[in-house]
Structures are given as structure tokens and as C-alpha cells.
A and B are shown apart, each in its own frame.
Chain A
């Protein structure tokens, strides 16, 4: 029954990461990501100094091998990475689209030149789009 604990933990971890990273506001998410990175670095140094540590933690939570525990951790970290990258690309795409749209509209012929409305001078028949 020891596995139940670690399973619950990993599932909650997965959900927390995806929720936190999906719904998180910029600053807080970034701070959390940095703290996570620091913790990871700390663990890395610790396990270099004491290679048996992962095995001991793993046995305690009921997994058996330290390598498996590291694998689970990696899967979680990778998943988090995928989600944040997706979000960042999405935001970038929105910004980039706005910029491209601005350029497109600035270079487009003006409506008032093509279709002078009734208020303006009488309309010419041809629309004359000479953008160059």
C-alpha cells in the first residue's frame, strides 16, 4: 500500500504543474519555475555527494529503485516544460500576428481614397489601387 502514497503525490504534482502553469500569472509562475530549478540543482548536488539517497527515498515511498523515481520526476518536469513552452509560443504568436496585421493595414490602400463616401467629392469610377 506504500505505492498509493507516491501515486497520489505524482498525480497531484502533475495536476498542480499543469494547473499552475496554465492558469498562473506571469510573475508568480516565473518565480515558481526558478525556485523549482534551484531545488532541482540542490537535489543534483546532494545526489552527487550521496548517490544512495534516491534509492533510500524510493524505498521509503514504495517505488523500489531510485532510478524509477528520477524517471518519474523527469516525466513531470518534461510535461511542465511542454506546457509552458506551448503557452509561451501561443502568446508570442498573438503578438507577432498583431504586428504583422499592423504592417498589412498600414500598407493597404485607404478606404477613403477608394470609396469616397457621399460626404466627399463625387466618386471616380475606377478604384485605382496603386500601392507601389
Chain B
């Protein structure tokens, strides 16, 4: 199987409505999917399990960053794993984008591929959202020594060597910047990690909009970053 060296890591928290379909669709191309149920109070874990994902259950709610780290740690127990894809549970990512990103990383010259909503104009985000994301990415670039166009995108492809070194401790939203910061600080043979960005298309459905990050959350992200 060609995708046998890929794990989709999906942090899962109260997405019972959509997770079944998201997993079923993703399973058509990627057999290895781990959903980290972050103490959901609905049927999320059961739905993910029925749909064919491996479900790892946090005993208590810890946050999305913590769930990601758990999923990555689980994927590392598979000796066949070469790439981890971080993937959102709410169905806003496209499998075609994942495959394009995997094709990119398989070329072998980069260890990380970040998804970016701003490399083309397929993603239809509101003006305010664009502004917030721009500020967030400017701050991240400033503090981490990386050059990205979108730091708060849930879609990333990481090579095993990077996953092994990653240690996300920001349990809540600031984990996205923390991941970028840690990757920016990693050195392989004294050299910075080579990364690339790939255009991704985020589907802002009514469902994901209702759950999306608000302006207040941007304030929280900033505070968590400063006070780490």
C-alpha cells in the first residue's frame, strides 16, 4: 500500500456530527488514521472508531495542542511511519491538498510542508479573519525566524525526524505557533530544517464557522505566547 508510511493525526473534541464522514472519506486514501479524543462529551470517539480510525482517548480534556502531541507520539510507535499529517476533525481540509503536500515532501528536499491559505485565493475567509491571521503570522515570523504566510493552519506534513523532536507543551491554541517555533529552532547537522509551504483550500462551512476561532481567541493566543 502506497500510503502505508503516512499517519493522519486528528485531534478530536466534540465533533460527533462530522467526524464519521471525515474519517470515512480520509480512509479511502489513508488507511492509518489516529483520532485523539480529547475528552469529548458527545459520541465523537465512537463515531471515529466505527469509521475505522484508531482512537486514543485522553482521560480528561487537555486541549488541541496536547491532543496533537499525543497523536504524534502514537504514530511514532509505528516503525513504518515516515510522515505525519496533522488534520482537523471538522472536515475543512481537502484530501487533494494532503496528497499534493505528501508529493512535495516525498521529493526529499524538505522535512516539513506547511499548508497555507494565502498562497492562492481559493480560501474564502472574511476580511477580519484575514487580518487576524496576518497579524498572527507576522508575530510568529518575527519571533521564530521562519518565513511563512500562514502559521495557524491545521494542515501540516511532518517527516519522522521532525516528529521525533517535536514536543508541544502549549495545550491550547498557541500550539500552532509553538510548532513553528520548535521547527524553526531545530537543527539537523547544524542546519535549519528545510520546509516548504503548499497552498491549501479551507472550506469554511457553516459548521466550521460556528466552531472557528473568534477575535477573542486571537487575544488568548497572543497572551499564551507571551506568557509561556
A residues in contact (CB < 8 Å) with B: 86, 90, 93-94, 97, 100-101, 103-105, 107-111, 114-115, 117, 127, 129
Q: Is the CB of B227 within 8 A of A86?
A: yes
Complex Cα distance A111/B58, Å? 17
- A86 cross-chain contacts in B, Cβ below 8 A: 227
- A109 cross-chain contacts in B, Cβ below 8 A: 54
Interface string of B58-100 (1 = CB under 8 A from A): 1110100010011001100111100000000000000000000
Please name 16 further chain A to chain B contacts, defined as beta carbons within 8 Å, in addition to the given A104-B59, A108-B56, A108-B57, sorted by A numbering: A90-B228, A93-B171, A97-B62, A97-B66, A97-B69, A100-B58, A104-B56, A104-B57, A108-B54, A108-B55, A111-B77, A111-B78, A114-B54, A117-B79, A127-B54, A129-B54
- B32 cross-chain contacts in A, Cβ below 8 A: 115
Q: Is the CB of A115 within 8 A of B78?
A: yes
| A-B residue pairs in contact (CB < 8 Å), sample of 16 | A97-B66, A97-B69, A100-B58, A100-B59, A101-B58, A103-B59, A104-B58, A105-B74, A105-B77, A108-B54, A108-B57, A110-B77, A111-B74, A115-B4, A115-B32, A117-B80
List the count of A-B residue pairs having beta carbons below 8 Å apart. 60
Complex Cα distance A103/B78, Å? 18
Q: Is the interface of A mostly helix, strand, loop or mixed?
A: helix
Complex Cα distance A124/B49, Å? 17
- Chain B nearest Cβ from A115, distance in angstroms: 6
- Indicate whether B169 reaches chain A with its CB closer than 8 angstroms: yes
- B62 cross-chain contacts in A, Cβ below 8 A: 97, 100-101
- Chain A nearest Cβ from B164, distance in angstroms: 15
Cross-interface CB contact of B31 among A101, A107, A108, A115, cutoff 8 Å: A115
Within 8 A of A (CB), among B116-172: 169, 171
- B60 cross-chain contacts in A, Cβ below 8 A: 100
- Chain A nearest Cβ from B78, distance in angstroms: 4
- Chain B nearest Cβ from A123, distance in angstroms: 9
Q: Is the CB of A107 within 8 A of B66?
A: no
Within 8 A of A (CB), among B1-50: 4, 31-32, 36, 49
- A129 cross-chain contacts in B, Cβ below 8 A: 49, 54-55
